[in-house]
Amino acid sequence: AWLQNGFEPDHAAMGPIHDFLQQIITTAQAGSGIYQTAVQELVDGIRSITGQKPVCMESGSGRYLTLGTIGSSSFIDQSIEAGEAERLGDEGFVIRKVDRGEHVYIVLAGKTEKGLLYAVFHFLRLLKTGGLTDQVDVTEVPKYRLRMVNHWDNMDGSVERGYAGQSIFYRNDVLLSRSARVRDYARLLASVGINGIAINNVNVHRHETRLITEVYLPDVARIADIFRNYGIRLYLSVNFAAPIELGDLRTADPLDADVQKWWKEKAADVYCYVPDFGGFLVKADSENRPGPFTYGRDHADGANMLAEALKPYGGIVLWRCFVYNCHQDWRDRTTDRARAAYDHFKPLDGRFLDNVVLQIKNGPMDFQVREPVSPLIGAMEKTNQIVEFQITQEYTGQQKDVCYLIPQWKEVLDFDTRIKGEGSTVKEIAAGLVHPYVHSGITAVSNIGDDLNWTGHHLAQANLYGYGRLIWNPELSSELIAKEWALLTFGPNKAAADTIADILMASWPIYEKYTSPLGVGWMVRPHYHYGPDIDGYEYSKWGTYHFADCHGIGVDRTQSTGTGYSAQYEKANSELYENLETCPDELLLFFHHVPYTHRLKSGKTVIQHIYDTHFEGVEQVEQVISRWRGLEGDIDAERYRHVCGRLEAQLENAKEWRDVINTYFYRKSAIPDEKNRVIY
């Protein structure tokens, strides 16, 4: 992946920096394992990039690198300005050249060892991408406090919505707590700034329910140790009905004193083994999982009960808001799944303890290729929130099709909710800068498995890499992240990196073109979610409909004639979506039911847009293939061939989508394609 080594060192490109790389002056730091990790990563990184192993010493002169926390050595402290330590906070860092006559050095420093570790990875990234000069002066502080990944891994080794092999954490109900793969993963995550990980599926099945018991805690602790050395805290998903399922109690009622006591004891056990345990992630009353509703209690009752148990140890509850009726009657047009999260949670604002964090998916439905931003984000002033993205490509090509998701996430982060007037973007809300949240940040469902290349499709690695980079600094552009990843991963060939970045940048729009049009979503094969099946969910209980008939298509979510969902947004946004004239084309069918002859802002009719985009999508996949073929010889043969294979499969997929969608809508609407292309 992007920490990969073995490219030919380019000494010339390193220029004067090269002189600094031969000696590393360490500080005699007791501290935690993170300092050792930082030194080790720096030494190994430099060796792999330059081909020469640097020497570590406790003092020296001439040109060198030095690394440590502020306060640990006078060489470091002399390079830090007054007040800088405070500005760096717990995770920020500086990389700075200092010139003091006999001593000319580059200092890598953080206020904490964690900051220092991030400095090391940043330094190596700059070195490897040719972004380091001998006048370096970089200060970085992450935008978000919680920067997490979630794993939907099960203890039998399967991964729910995993497209890259089996779990790296479990096999046959055993934790792989001594696996080198887990440590490698910790390195990958830390190198892009991730600081929290939930290692089991939010759907907590029988064996996983016991992860918080002494049967499994020793192994959980070993995995936590691995991540701790990389500055990453461990979290577990828990089963709300655990007191019953583990055979201890007959109820899981959050207001029952025995239940409360039970969870307090469990929390105490967990902290015995993992003293810096992050907390519990909970999917309750969602898709048939147990929760407080069984006992006539609400989600504040449920979350607070767990929060009380974790509070003495500084743990948090990540309580998911993916709560909706999954037994809906398709005949009932008044119930709207998109409304559900807001309707359930907004009235509870002010009732949650301050170590509860509501975890909200980026859109109101479920990680579709296109959705509006969830109106719940920012809507609760007094309740901590964390935004949830999906790195694993459940609905976006399943790591068979290329779909670089950073541009999608950036659109979400840049969305202005206007909750507190202009500038109330998701980006600022998730940073706790719009409402003063005690805990906030961003999380996402990971896309890795035990495949040798981690992500099934090589190019899907860019999503994991980019996710970390983006939530460290959401101002980075998608292009820059793509180029950085390509250079780190495929070696220092700028032209090749540009081509790969172009392919990535084009991929989400292409995927959107040949799949579901204008924000309508859900035209996928039920359960699998790969490949077209237009009516697959149309008469189902899941609340996922497009309502296409012979006249038109789309879901009327307006306040005036529809489900009223549009009213969940602040006035300016609500009006924007409510009004057919102002609703953006790409979300038109999410908010409105319109005739096929309705004219979009582009000037095209809806039906012609459907035909055109589906033909274009396939043509553009063909163009991507020819661009990729142009890379032959510029990147290593194995990965070149692997991606060729995936792209051929993507082309078949795109053709299938094109023909199924076009044919379906031609037959429904009886309106021919203006350009007379083949539709079946």
Residues belonging to the active site = 287, 366, 394
CA dist 467 to 191, 351, 433, 526, 662, Å? 12, 32, 21, 28, 34
Inter-residue contact 282 to 352 (CB < 8 Å): no
> Which residue from 1, 67, 202, 487 is in contact with ligand GCU, where contact means CB under 6 A?
202
Helices and strands per DSSP (H, E), number in the chain: 21, 18
Q: What is the nearest approach in angstroms of ligand GCU to the Cβ of residue 390?
A: 8
Inter-residue contact 424 to 369 (CB < 8 Å): no
> What's 29's DSSP letter?
-
Q: Considering CB under 6 A, how many residues would be counted as binding ligand GCU?
A: 9
Question: Of the two residues 140 and 366, which places its CB atom closer to ligand GCU in the complex?
Answer: 366
Which value, to the nearest 10 degrees, does the dihedral of the CA atoms of residues 498, 503, 508, 510 take?
Answer: 140
Chain position carrying tokens 């969902």? 565
β-bridge mates for residue 435, sequence order: none
* Beta strand pairing call for 103-110 and 93-100: antiparallel
Question: Of the two residues 158 and 203, which places its CB atom closer to ligand GCU in the complex?
Answer: 203
> Which residue from 48, 166, 203, 213 is in contact with ligand GCU, where contact means CB under 6 A?
203
Question: Of the two residues 2 and 367, which places its CB atom closer to ligand GCU in the complex?
Answer: 367
Nearest-CA neighbor of 292 among 338, 243, 360?
243
Q: What is the nearest approach in angstroms of ligand GCU to the Cβ of residue 322?
A: 5
Residue 322 as a binder of ligand GCU (CB under 6 A): the answer is yes
Helix (H, G, I), strand (E, B) or coil at 482: helix
Question: Of the two residues 85 and 202, which places its CB atom closer to ligand GCU in the complex?
Answer: 202
Q: What is the nearest approach in angstroms of ligand GCU to the Cβ of residue 215?
A: 25
Question: Of the two residues 426 and 444, which places its CB atom closer to ligand GCU in the complex?
Answer: 444
Burial 656-667 (b: 16+ CB within 10 A, else e): ebbbbbbebbbe
Question: Of the two residues 122 and 283, which places its CB atom closer to ligand GCU in the complex?
Answer: 283
CA dist 351 to 126, 340, 377, 592, Å? 46, 19, 17, 35
Question: Of the two residues 419 and 520, which places its CB atom closer to ligand GCU in the complex?
Answer: 520
Report the distance separating Cα 335 and Cα 120, nearest Å: 52
Question: Of the two residues 394 and 556, which places its CB atom closer to ligand GCU in the complex?
Answer: 394
Torsion 120-126-132-137 (CA) sign: negative
Report the distance separating Cα 577 and Cα 557, nearest Å: 9
CA dist 532 to 457, 510, 611, 676, Å? 21, 15, 15, 23
Main-chain dihedrals φ then ψ at residue 316, nearest 5 degrees: -125, 160
Residue 160 as a binder of ligand GCU (CB under 6 A): the answer is yes
Helix (H) or strand (E) holding 226: helix 217-228
User: Where are any strands of DSSP class E within 463-584?
Assistant: 552-553
Q: What is the nearest approach in angstroms of ligand GCU to the Cβ of residue 203?
A: 5
Amino acid sitting at position 80: I
Burial 300-329 (b: 16+ CB within 10 A, else e): bbbbbbbbbbbbebebbbbbbbbbbeeebe
β-bridge mates for residue 153, sequence order: 159
Nearest-CA neighbor of 661 among 531, 527, 507, 544?
531
Question: Of the two residues 283 and 435, which places its CB atom closer to ligand GCU in the complex?
Answer: 283
Q: What is the nearest approach in angstroms of ligand GCU to the Cβ of residue 246?
A: 22
Burial 201-224 (b: 16+ CB within 10 A, else e): bbbbeebbbbbbeeebbebbbbbb
Nearest-CA neighbor of 76 among 61, 96, 62?
96
Nearest-CA neighbor of 497 among 462, 452, 456?
462
Write the interaction track for ligand GCU spanning residues 242-281; mark x where CB under 6 A is met and - where it is not. Answer: ----------------------------------------
Residue 344 as a binder of ligand GCU (CB under 6 A): the answer is no
> What's 422's DSSP letter?
T
Question: Of the two residues 322 and 389, which places its CB atom closer to ligand GCU in the complex?
Answer: 322
Question: Of the two residues 121 and 537, which places its CB atom closer to ligand GCU in the complex?
Answer: 537
> Which residue from 18, 47, 103, 161 is in contact with ligand GCU, where contact means CB under 6 A?
161
Helix (H) or strand (E) holding 18: none
Q: What is the nearest approach in angstroms of ligand GCU to the Cβ of residue 499?
A: 34
Question: Of the two residues 169 and 389, which places its CB atom closer to ligand GCU in the complex?
Answer: 389
Helix (H) or strand (E) holding 117: helix 113-128
Write the interaction track for ligand GCU spanning residues 388-427; mark x where CB under 6 A is met and - where it is not. Answer: ------x---------------------------------
Nearest-CA neighbor of 20 among 51, 61, 48?
61
Q: Which of residues 358-377 bind ligand GCU (CB under 6 A)?
A: 366
Q: What is the nearest approach in angstroms of ligand GCU to the Cβ of residue 238?
A: 14
Q: Which residues would be at the binding site for ligand GCU (CB under 6 A)?
A: 160-161, 202-203, 283, 287, 322, 366, 394
